[in-house]
Amino acid sequence: MADWTEREKELADLVRDGHAVVVNVRKSGPHKHLVPWLLEQDLITYIGHKGNRHSWPESPFANPFVKEAKTDRQAMLRHYREYLEGKPELLKRLRDGELDGRALGCWCDPQPCHGHVLLEYLK
């Protein structure tokens, strides 16, 4: 943990205390030291799409409006909220605590993303 940033340490403490957080899974990203630890501790749930350049699996919580983030991030967040409202099975999984106390892995953080929308539903 000596190489960890203060933010990585804060996020690790939050997860240890049972809070859900959003983390960036990019290998050179702002949480590059934290993510391997989260994987070792089985405390991370990837919430994005499957891709050719990474080994993360497709998530049922993936954002179908991800391309919109490049042009209008606020619209993308609004559309994801609307999308979730139309997905009772995903809302049930959130209510049942599937993501409670987990690090939600995506590619956007620290920019606002669908992971932050999911956090709203966990509060």
| 90 domain residue, yes or no | yes
pLDDT at 1: 80
pLDDT at 102 over 90: yes
Summary mean pLDDT of the chain? 95
| 1 domain residue, yes or no | no
pLDDT tens digits, one per residue of 18-28: 999 999 999 99
**Token pair of 56, please?**
């993360």
Question: Scanning the structure block, which residue is given the tokens 């509060």?
Answer: 123
Amino acid at 55: S
pLDDT tens digits, one per residue of 51-69: 888 999 999 999 999 888 8
State how many domains the chain has.
1
Secondary structure letter of residue 70 according to DSSP = G
Instruction: List 22's β-bridge partners, or say none.
Output: 104
Range of the domain at 66: 6-122
| 11 domain residue, yes or no | yes
